[in-house]
Amino acid sequence: MSTSQSNPIRDAIAEAIEEHRVILFMKGTPEAPACGFSARTVAALQALDTPFAAVDVLPDPRIRQELSAISNWPTVPQLFANGELIGGCDIVTEMYESGELAQALQ
C-alpha cells in the first residue's frame, strides 16, 4: 500500500478529528442511529449534555476503512476527544458508568 498518494478521505477524517473537540464516528446519525452500539454511545454523550460532532460512516465504505486505518481500531462507533481515541461503545459505556467520561471529554 502506498502512503505517498494523496488520500482525500483520510485527510478529511484526520482534519475533522483535529478540529472538533469531541467527535463521534457512528452508523447513522445522533437523531437516527443505525446500530445499537452507536445508539448507546450517543445516549451516553447526550446524558452528559456534551456537545459533539458526528460523522455517519455508512454513506461510503471508504470512510470506515480510512477511519480504522487512522485509529487502529476495527469497529464503529469511535469516539474522539481532543484528538485522541477515547474508545468504542464498550469503553464509552464503562467510562460513563464510572463517571470517568465527563472528565475525559473536558
- Whether 77 and 37 have beta carbons less than 8 Å apart is answered as yes
The reply on whether position 63 binds another protein by CB under 8 A is no
Helix (H) or strand (E) holding 70: helix 61-71
Q: Is 88 a residue that touches another protein (CB under 8 A)?
A: yes
Q: Are strands 53-56 and 22-26 parallel, antiparallel or unpaired?
A: parallel
Nearer to another protein, 51 or 74 (CB): 74
The site that binds another protein (CB under 8 A) totals a number of residues, namely: 14
User: Is 22 one of the binding residues for another protein (CB under 8 A)?
Assistant: no
Q: Is 25 in the site for another protein (CB under 8 A)?
A: no
Under rule CB under 8 A, residue 89 binds another protein: yes
87 binds another protein (CB under 8 A): yes
Minimum gap (Å) between residue 6 Cβ and another protein: 25
Question: Binding another protein by CB under 8 A: which of 81, 86, 101, 105?
Answer: 86
**Of the candidates 62, 72, 78, 69, the residue with the CA atom closest to the CA atom of residue 27:** 78
Q: Binding of another protein at residue 73 (CB under 8 A)? A: yes
**Exposure of 56 in the CB half-sphere (CA atoms within 13 A):** 11
- What's the chain's Rg over C-alpha atoms? 13
